[in-house]
Amino acid sequence: MNGIGYAAVVGQVVVVVGGAPLLAGWMRQVRARLEGRAGAGVLQPWRDTCKLLRKEPITPAGTGPAFRAAPALLVATTAVATALVPLLSTDTPVSSHADLVVVVALVALGTLALALAGLDTGTAFGGMGASREMTVAALVEPTILLSVFALSMPAGTTNIPAIVAGAAHHPARLASPAGLLAVAALAVAVLAETGRIPVDNPSTHLELTMIHEAMVLEYAGPDLALVELGAQMRLTLLLGLLSSLFVPWGIATSGSWGALAVAPVLFAAKLCLLGAALATAEVCWAKVRLFRVPELLAGSFLLALLAVTASYVLNGAP
């Protein structure tokens, strides 16, 4: 049993670290095809990463420890959160520590590290990107917390593996109004947190619109590779969290090798579908103005709050 549990944790981290660039490449490829381009191929982000890792590390003059530590901190916090969130199995040695608040705090710590690094460079863009990022983050974190609280009410705990296992055994919990409102709220929050298109455009370097890119402009070489990898891992982690919470089938709920062998395949399939859907949506949508972003996030916060209220008011939950 314990061997299987550790294998599941290691598997989760390996799948996310190895798969995150592939997911990013897959999404870029889908986008390219929909826009009528040939695309660079699914492996391109990995090639970029390898190229950047071979370069000489350079830090701008006058930057302090925050700038140097941020990429490693970003990747490390995301990796720890990945080990905690039940992506492949709910029955792991660390599953008793996988509290919702811990996971959200780990994600927020990565955001904070990057924002500090943006401030540390002392450039106009860095500070601007950091302040925008913190504005978005301040609105996103409560939304993520609230929408998962709506799901944790029927389960009676904020332990994410327990919520996922409960949902896998009682699928009726997910079809309730609380579940539907929560998935809508969490989807918007995930888009904002990972800097995807209605909030931020990940492929632009236009100074007026960018949020995430403005903070990491000064990075080069291996540090840039780590920052990119961290951003891709966060996208994979949060999409994985979304799929685990709302489509929990296929995640191993008991310690058996068979279930654990099936789980990565289904996980990859779910993420491919989600990524393709997201890429399709990004082709169709336009980025909203920065001043309308709080509106969008207030809307998703309201949906999350309604989800909590609904799971309390309506008869679906005791």
Partner 1 sequence: MSSGLYTQLLDLACGAFLLAAVIVLWRHELAALVRAFALQGVALAAIAVFLGGHEERWDLIAVGLGIGVLRAGVLPYLMRRALAALAADRGSEEVRETQPLVNVAASLLTAALLTLLAYAVGRPLTRLDPTPAAHALPVGLAVVLIGFFVLATRRRALAQVVGFLLLDNGITATAFLATSGVPLIVELGVSFDVLLAVLVLQILTTRMREAFGTTDIDDLRELHDR
Part in contact with partner 1 (CB under 8 A); list of ranges 32-40, 198-206, 261-269, 310-318: 310-318
Minimum CB–partner distance for residue 166 and partner 1 (Å): 17
**In the block, residue with structure tokens 């609280």:** 149
Q: Residue 141: name the closest of 102, 171, 174 by CA.
A: 102
Minimum CB–partner distance for residue 141 and partner 1 (Å): 16
For residues 222 and 294, which CB has a smaller minimum distance to partner 1 in the complex? 294
For residues 221 and 294, which CB has a smaller minimum distance to partner 1 in the complex? 294
Backbone angles phi, psi at 43, to 5 degrees: -85, -5
For residues 178 and 278, which CB has a smaller minimum distance to partner 1 in the complex? 178
For residues 181 and 260, which CB has a smaller minimum distance to partner 1 in the complex? 181
- The two tokens of residue 305 are 């709050």
Check: CB of residue 200 under 8 Å from CB of residue 210: yes
For residues 221 and 299, which CB has a smaller minimum distance to partner 1 in the complex? 299
Binding positions for partner 1, 184-203, rule CB under 8 A: none
State the sign of the Cα–Cα–Cα–Cα dihedral 30, 133, 57, 82.
negative
Please give the full DSSP string across 150-201, using - where no structure is assigned.
Answer: HHHHHHTS-BHHHHHHHHHH-GGGTTSHHHHHHHHHHHHHHHHHTT-TTT--
Minimum CB–partner distance for residue 47 and partner 1 (Å): 42
Minimum CB–partner distance for residue 139 and partner 1 (Å): 9
Say how many residues touch partner 1, by CB under 8 A: 23
How far, in Å, CA of 206 to CA of 197, rounded?
14
Cα Rg, the chain, nearest whole Å: 19
Binding positions for partner 1, 266-305, rule CB under 8 A: 294-295, 298-299, 301-303, 305
CA 227, 231, 234, 235: dihedral to nearest 10 degrees? -160
Part in contact with partner 1 (CB under 8 A); list of ranges 32-40, 83-91, 113-121, 175-183: 175-183
By CB under 8 A, residue 313 contacts partner 1 = yes
Minimum CB–partner distance for residue 4 and partner 1 (Å): 35
Minimum CB–partner distance for residue 299 and partner 1 (Å): 5
Which chain residues interact with partner 1 by CB under 8 A?
172, 175-178, 180-181, 294-295, 298-299, 301-303, 305-306, 309-310, 312-316
